[in-house]
Amino acid sequence: MAMLQPQHHHLFLLRHRPPPPRLRLRLPTRPSSPHRLLPRARAVSAAASTAALEDFRRWLSSHGAGEGKALPAAVPEGLGLVAARDLPRGEVVAEVPKKLWMDFDAVAASDIGRACGGGGGLRPWVAVALLLLREVARGADSPWAPYLAILPRQTDSTIFWSEEELLEIQGTQLLSTTIGVKDYVQSEFESVEAEIINANKDLFPGTITFDDFLWAFGILRSRVFPELRGDKLALIPFADLVNHSPDITSEGSSWEIKGKGLFGREAMFSLRTPVDVKSGEQYDLDKSNAELALDYGFIESNPYRDSYTVTLGISESDPFYGDKLDIAELNGLGETAYFDVVLDEPLPPQMLTYLRLLCIGGTDAFILEALFRNSVWGHLELPLSPDNEESICQVMRDACKSALGAYHTTTQEDEELLETENLQSRLKIAIGVRAGEKKVLQQIDDIFKQREEELDGLEYYQERRLKDLGLVGDNGEIIFWET
């Protein structure tokens, strides 16, 4: 019933999460041969040189991209957009015409699209990944050559970590997520390798390996705007140089796709400043914590970036499975529910309510009867009975204890390691991730430990019911009537 699962949860290429067994905590295990993590993706270009950057700028200009307000430039993260002058909030800093996008339409118009019937049988991200690899193979003959030349050779994303490096995140949700993503990409690669790559050697004359395919996947995950999913998935050269900033917290969109040219028929990707930007400063966008380590290869130390996903599920072996599932679905949940717990924040809404539902049994089962079907959720928002409330505390504390026992270091050891000078970047990510997870797990345990200590002072359903009937006073005293 209680499982603690990965947070990455806004994966735009991977959304599958397997259902959990009742009262069982699924822990990531040491990588074994079925999940063998292959070497880092083969480099497809040298680090962007000054000459390559100038070629890229000229290429953009020749195709009418950009407005001269922000320029691609070297920044600490690698490449980014730097303001050419002071820019007020909401000003357009870049416009990229659709003819420069690498998207599903570009695939359909390419040799790959013609070989695959327009690419309609492929997942959009797979189709764009194949286009990316095909254009890389074409070298200087590719119309995107100047753009491809500045793409990063590699990142610190965990999908590119070695087995030894992954051991540093032993016990974390990030490890199980990373392995799951790599398995998914491997499966997709094996399919397209047999059906497309090997069947079209004229399009892919060289050897395309899993590492190459994984590199393309990593490029898409780190550079595609999150809202551009499914058939809309697209690499937008120039605009994709926007980096992450912890100082930008606006949730409003900073871009739009609009029509331009005669009758507005030419689609244009328009990028705006989310905040005021000074000349010479980098133009950034805020991106979710769920993406950072897996997609971009970095993390932040801000407490609100530390989170842990609790997965709760109704077991099919539960004698009241049907009733509980019906109640959950009537209230917008299901057989499995995911709750992201954030450091220093209260438990997510409905988490306690769902837990109480899962732990109903014995004499409390009366509340599952059809008579209560429309009101039961409201009753469960408050403590049901001492036994039920004690059960949810035990379930969560046992799960936290099991999860904390899977890490090979303590929180104190991690904090001491983080004080070490000149830490290798991937080790720093690993320590930060596992330390953050442990802090949240300890917070969850503390919440339910405190609740255990307060059980005798809580007001339960029967007492509330008697008060509603006027049979018990506000202080719990029984009320008698005299004739």
Q: Is 283 a catalytic residue?
A: yes
| 265 in a known ligand binding site | no
Q: Is 10 annotated as a binding residue?
A: no
Residue 283 assigned ligand-binding role: yes
| 184 labelled ligand-binding | no
Per-residue 3-state assignment (H helix, E strand, C coil) for the chain: CEEEECCCCCCCCCCCCCCCCCCCCCCCCCCCHHHCCCCCCCCCCCCCCHHHHHHHHHHHHHCCCCCCCEEEEEECCEEEEEECCCECCCCEEEEEEHHHCEEHHHHHCCHHHHHCHHHCCCCHHHHHHHHHHHHHHHHHHCCCHHHHCCCCCCCCCHHHCCHHHHHHHCCCHHHHHHHHHHHHHHHHHHHHHHHHHCCCCCCCCCCCCHHHHHHHHHHHHHHCCCCCCHHHCEECCCHHHCEECCCCCCCCCCEEEEEECHHHCEEEEEEECCCCECCCCEEEECCCHHHHHHHHCCCCCCHHHCEEEEEEECCCCCCCHHHHHHHHHHCCCCCEEEEEEECCCCCCCCHHHHHHHHCCCHHHHHHHCHHHCCCHHHHHCCCCCHHHHHHHHHHHHHHHHHHHCCCCCCHHHHHHHHCCCCCCHHHHHHHHHHHHHHHHHHHHHHHHHHHHHCHHHCCCHHHHHHHHCCCECCCCCECCCCC
Q: Please give the backbone phi and psi of residue 5, each rounded to the nearest 5 degrees, phi first.
A: -120, 170
451 touches 395 (CB < 8 A): no
Instruction: State yes or no: 304 annotated in a binding site.
Output: no
From 147, 184, 283, 304, the catalytic residue: 283
Taking the C-alpha atoms of residue 217 and residue 208, their distance in angstroms, rounded to an integer, is 13
8: annotated binding-site residue?
no
Report whether 240 belongs to an annotated binding site.
Answer: yes
> Does 378 carry a binding-site annotation?
no
Is 295 labelled a binding residue? Answer: no
- 79 appears as a binding residue in the annotation: yes
**Residues placed in the known binding site for S-adenosyl-L-methionine:** 77-79, 223, 243-244
**Residues placed in the known binding site:** 77-79, 223, 240, 243-244, 255, 283, 296
Active site residues: 283
**Residues placed in the known binding site for substrate:** 223, 240, 255, 283, 296
